[in-house]
Amino acid sequence: MSDNFSHLALHELADLVEKAEKALAEKKKSERKNIINQIKELADSIGVTITITEGGKPASSRKGSKVAAKYKNPQNPQQTWTGRGVKPRWLAELLNQGNHLDHFKI
């Protein structure tokens, strides 16, 4: 195979790249299918049943974890803030009145 593509026009190169990308994707898909079949056959040969699931990245273990509140509204203890994200309105109003953030620490 020649590595000199300088004689090709731009649209010919683009077409060649597109075909090569499709061929590569098909080759990878075929290879993956063969490997999965080999794994299943090996497992079956020793009497093991396996399930192969396909998916993306594993879910983050931090997702949905709660963070303890660091600040609370002295006038309404139900209103708290963790110190992350946007300041709640109640805290912004109290800070605008001249209060210091340390006054609201839990």
Assess whether pLDDT exceeds 70 at residue 1.
Answer: no
Of residues 49 and 54, more confidence is placed in 49
At 79, give phi and psi (nearest 5°): -90, 115
Q: Give the per-residue SS3 of the chain.
A: CCCCCCCCCHHHHHHHHHHHHHHHHHHHHHHHHHHHHHHHHHHHHCCCCCCCCCCCCCCCCCCCCCCCCCEEECCEEEEEECCCCCCCHHHHHHHHCCCCHHHHEC
Interval 50-70: pLDDT, tens: 888 877 676 667 667 788 999
Average pLDDT over residues 83-90: 91
Domain boundaries in the chain? 8-55, 71-104
